[in-house]
Structure 1
Amino acid sequence: MNRIDLKGKRALVTGGSQGIGAEICRHLAACGASVFINYNRNEEKARSLAKELEQRHGVKMAYGGANVANAKAVKALFAQMDKEIGGIDILVNNAGSESVSHVLEMAEAEWDRVLDINLKGPFLCSQEAGKRMEKDGGGVIINISSIHDVVPRLGLIHYCSAKAGLKMFSKCLSLELADKNVRVVSIAPGAIETDMNRDEIAKFGKDKFEDWIPQGRIGNVADVAQTVAFMASDMADYINGTDIYIDGAYMNSTIPYDPRPARGDQGE
């Protein structure tokens, strides 16, 4: 089996200092890519991760803070990235945010905040990356979405709407940039356990989640990161404008049917 080779590639991962984003950085670096880690608030986590991966894999690592929903901050981030790692071949729009609120009680500011981070951020970053990739002969843009780009969820109308928008944004972007040799894909995780939600999952009941998921387990951050690394590589060169769901068939099992007999127990 061929190993994913990203040597010589330069990647930017937004929201890359923790959770799924940090694992994406780890996998890209392990495959030989230079990685620029974007963070919003936690500089120390970004610094520590950059140092760890540079020492472990011998690749160029850098980091920079920016709110991806702010156009001026995004331009400054890309300018810093140009200086630190010399450009971009892979953009992973991973930064995201959610909150829980009933639609009739949701503040306008919270609607705007969640839409801005989850949808406007990828737009701004993709613009900057696309301009550079066009000049350099191509690249890959990977948008981290969610199964909730098609599966509705109570209390998350703003988040689900943003992810649904990101799904169509990815498809339109793939058409706009295909002639520039820039591929665009959307990767949509289901239930994924991270350091940030592990205690919450345990409190709710991990066994409940695993009963709901046909594959019998909650996903982990490596499930997502491995897919990102593959999609960023030349092995996925003809995959463009598509959505990839990483959920153990979770979204295909929304109706709890009555128990079925095991194979061989149906009788005559």
Structure 2
Amino acid sequence: MYQNYIFSGFGFVTGKCEVTNPDIEKAIQDGFFDGLDAERIQQSDKFIEAKLKTPDLTPFEFMAGHLMGFKKRFHVVPFPPRKESYTVAETSLDLLVKAIQKAFDDSGVHPDDIGAWMVGTATPHEMAPGIAETVKCFFTKVDNRTQTMTTASACVGFNINIERALNFLNQHPEFMHVVVAHTEVMSELLLKERDFVPFTTFGDGAAAVIISKIHSEKKEGILHVVNYEDMAMIDFLGADREGNLIMDPRRVKNRAVPNIARVVTELMDQAQWDLESTDLFIPHQTGHAIVHEAAAKLGFPMEKVFQEVQLNFGNLSGASVPASTAYLKETHRWKPGTKIITSVTGLGGELGGFSYMIPEFTKFETKNDDLKGKTALVTGCTGGLGGEISRQLAEKGCRVLLHYNSNHEKAQSVLKTLQHQELNHQLIKANFGVDSEVENLIQTVKTLVPELSFLIHTVAITGSLSKGSEVSDLEMRQVDKVNFANTAKLTEGLSGILTGTVLFTGSIAQDAQFSGSSAYVSSKRALFGFASGFARLQYPKIRCVFYIPGVIDGGMTDVLNQEQINASMQAVGQEKLIPLKDIASRMVKSLYIPKVAQVRSHYEGVLVVRKDGYTKY
């Protein structure tokens, strides 16, 4: 039996904004970029020959598509990029989280089973801590102590981390899996760039793999990996202190071609493969100039040279090779027995590659028991949000106590949808408008459970949504009692048995007050004040989160008119309605995961404040 190291899962994402060759050509015509000598191109024999076959071929398309080998790329901001656009755009961290999540979904491996997290980037979202340290916080519980390693490298960062991952797994027999990923927002390096070439070349994206240790009867998976540095390239490819790209294309090409060839030759010798037996060559997706010359130097036929990521997504720096493997998997071309050679070269003269034989492997068995042994009380379970949160808690193995106000039939229907009925999920009735019923609720919960892991507040009433001048004192008191006073009473009453997290649900109306929301907003702001003080008094025994959802599809939209919905979304920069299941998932993760994707987070003292769907505030 052989101990093998395989890619058990793949993830690949790009920026949201597609940038086509015609987009760049128009930007050149509009004076954004320089460097295209259209007259000279039109006089070249190759262009004249190509134009005979494609009469509408332009000089730019000939240069970008035919000679350079790029058709489109994706950026995190609309094109042409502007500095202010990046303040609300996805970062290299955002892309990374998405790519790693895809890799987990593909592999079946659980984040708790990862022994180390290794990430490379030359465009981090912040200077410190390292991006590997931060991204781990989106997947594991706060007590997870596994290693993280951030590599400040661009084109070769992924390959460097492949070697580190193998060394780690060899040295740590107790672990079976490592995350290796790379992420870049290359477009942000080009803000001061005037030459069209980098814009044609680079895209924004992230890719990740799960490397897993398995045993099988033949040698497969990662066979060999090498990494070197060519110091003659140290000054010709990089970024300055301000983050502006430094690139001398001619000198880079002159060193890159022989470096790629040297690495491939060494790897094929180690694997005892030749050109005929090697099925696929995946080079760093740098463009035709380097790739085609390197392939010719090696003697590889072009049908064995993979460039689809380059053509359709651009040069993704160190994410290029893992993106290529993920793309092959996504397009159902990741076939067992296929022999692959990769080679990369880039920033600072780094170079390397690995050989890989695709194994017979499908997927590990997925487990979903993050909250096994935990108990949660969800208030307002008959509401859309409370019901969905209850379902997702139960799916993760949590026992759920479901509070409801009066609609027993609806509460019973929610209870029946919960998985793991053997956990003895229970319904508890209490009217939050009546003090004595809330006091009884406290005693009932204390009788049912000696410890309460999570308390999730979703119970709320909006009131009449009348104009402030038309809201009666009685209505103000009723809304305040339900949304604030008795929610606070329940929280304080259960504080002695709480061991984990209290999650308070706020409202977008706190930041985007709309007509008719005065009573509702007043109560939610009072609740925020209570949550802040309670968090300070209970820290560190109890963790407190104040979660403010944007406008939910199926939440407040059921009681608001379209004018109120539009005004709220515009005030916070929300682009679209948030699906109920998505926001419930992020709220559940907030109970036990330090960071949550697609959410703006900050601290008010020790209170975690999360705003979902916002691009402002």
Which category of TM-score, normalised to the shorter sequence, fits these structures? 0.7 to 0.9
Q: Secondary structure at the match of 2:431?
A: coil
Amino acid at match of 1:183: R
1:190 maps to a residue whose letter is G
From 465, 476, 488, the counterpart of 1:111: 476
Q: 1:242 aligns with which of 592, 601, 608?
A: 608
Q: Which amino acid aligns with 1:165?
A: A
Range with bigger deviation, 96-105 or 1-10: 1-10
**How far 1:204 moved relative to its partner?**
3.4
1:171 touches 1:185 (CA, 8 Å); kept in 2?
A: no
Identify the residue that residue 184 of structure 1 maps to in structure 2. 544
Q: 1:216 to 1:67 in 2, by over 3 A?
A: same
Larger radius of gyration: 2
| Structure 1 residues 210 and 163: CA distance shift in structure 2, 3 A | closer
Partner deviation per Cα, 1:83-142 (whole Å, 9 max, x = no partner): 445542110111001131122221111011111111112201101220222xxxx22110
Is 1:38 the counterpart of 2:374? The answer is: no
| Equivalent position of 2:465 in the other structure | 100
Q: 1:234 to 1:244 in 2, by over 3 A?
A: closer
Q: TM-score, normalised by structure 1?
A: 0.79
- Residue 195 of structure 1 deviates from its aligned partner by 6.9
Residue type at the aligned position of 1:241: L
Q: CA deviation at 1:176?
A: 0.7
| Whole-Å separation in 1 of the counterparts to 2:399 and 2:457 | 16
- Residues 189-200 of structure 1 aligned to structure 2 (within 5 Å): 189-194=549-554, 197=557
Higher normalized contact order (CA 8 Å, seq sep 6+, divided by chain length): 1
Question: How far 1:81 sits from its partner (Å)?
Answer: 2.8
- The aligned length equals 241
Contact 1:149–1:165 (8 Å) recurs in 2: no
Deviation digits for residues 132-183 of structure 1 (CA, Å, limit 9, x no counterpart): 22xxxx221100011222332222111111111222221111101014x111
Residue 592 of structure 2 corresponds to 233
Normalising by the residue count of structure 2, what TM-score does the alignment of the two structures yield?
0.36
Q: Which of 579, 597, 611 lines up with 1:220 in the alignment?
A: 579
- 8 Å Cα contact 2:381-2:404 kept in structure 1: yes
Matched, 1:129 2:494: yes
* Partner Cα distance (1:52, 1:141) in 2: 24
User: Which amino acid letter does the alignment assign opposite residue 554 of structure 2?
Assistant: T
**Counterpart in the other structure of 1:64:** 428
**Aligned-pair distance for 1:190?**
1.3
1:13 to 2:378 alignment: yes
Tell me if 1:204 matches 2:562. Answer: yes
Contact residue 381 and residue 414 of structure 2 kept, 8 A: no
1:162 aligns with 2:518: no
Q: Which one-letter code corresponds to 1:50 in the other structure? A: L
Q: Identify if the C-alpha distance between structure 1 residues 221 and 86 changes in structure 2 by more than 3 Å, giving closer, same or farther.
A: farther
Change (3 A) 1:206 1:118: closer
Q: Which residue of 2 aligns with 1:266?
A: none
Structure 1 residue 81 and structure 2 residue 442: aligned? no
1:172 alignment counterpart: 533
Match of 1:100, SS? Answer: coil
Q: Give the aligned residue type for 1:33.
A: C
User: Which structure is higher in helix share?
Assistant: 1
Cα distance in 1 between the residues matched to 2:566 and 2:557: 15
2:580 maps to a residue whose letter is: V
Q: Which runs of 4+ in 1 moved over 6 A?
A: none
Task: Report the Cα distance in structure 2 between the residues aligned to 1:119 and 1:210, rounded to whole angstroms.
Answer: 22
CA deviation digits over 1:14-59, x for unaligned, max 9? 101231110110111111110011111211111121122145x653
Distance 2:447 2:607 in 1: 30
Amino acid at match of 1:71: D
Q: Is the CA contact 1:192–1:221 (under 8 Å) kept in the aligned structure 2?
A: yes
Distance 1:194 1:85, change over 3 A: farther
Q: Which runs of 5+ in 1 are unaligned?
A: 253-268
